Amino acid sequence: PITPGELLCLGSSLAFSGLFYYLYRKKARVVARIQEAPKLQVDDDLPALVSVADGRCLPYVALEGIVLPAKAALTSHYHEGLQGVIQKLLLKEHRLIWNSLARSW
């Protein structure tokens, strides 16, 4: 015979498994969209592409181009000849989406 405690443990285990699988699938779809993102060059044609897009917004793109440092480029201590820069400005656009699970925006 199955005790009520065992049923409670089984039910909570199934609920948590379902929740984590839902979150996994949601993040997997986002990763797939990012990996399929078109690669665009930073050049004079980029403003024209953005102005033609729906809502003047490109959902997922990978921009490739030359970046110039504001002051001096950072050099790696571990790999000779490797340089990098720190991004100064990051623009994030947040949309309000109704979350039916948490019942919030």
Give the domain extent around 59.
Answer: 2-82
Instruction: Give pLDDT tens digits for 25-63.
Output: 999 998 998 888 888 888 888 888 888 888 888 877 888
Does residue 66 fall inside a structural domain? yes
Instruction: Give which of 63, 33, 66, 36 is closest to 50, Cα–Cα.
Output: 63
| Domains: count for the chain | 1
Asked if residue 34 is part of any domain, the answer here is yes
- Give the Å distances, CA to CA, from 45 to 37, 51, 53: 18, 10, 13
Tens of pLDDT, residue by residue over 66-99, are 878 888 888 989 988 888 887 666 667 677 777 7
| Residue scoring higher pLDDT (52 or 20) | 20
Count the neighbouring beta carbons within 10 Å of the beta carbon of residue 57: 8
> Is residue 99, in this structure, part of any structural domain at all?
no
Residue 42 lies in a domain: yes
For residue 94, being part of any structural domain is answered with no
Is residue 31, in this structure, part of any structural domain at all? yes
**Residue 74's CB: how many other CB atoms inside 10 A?**
12
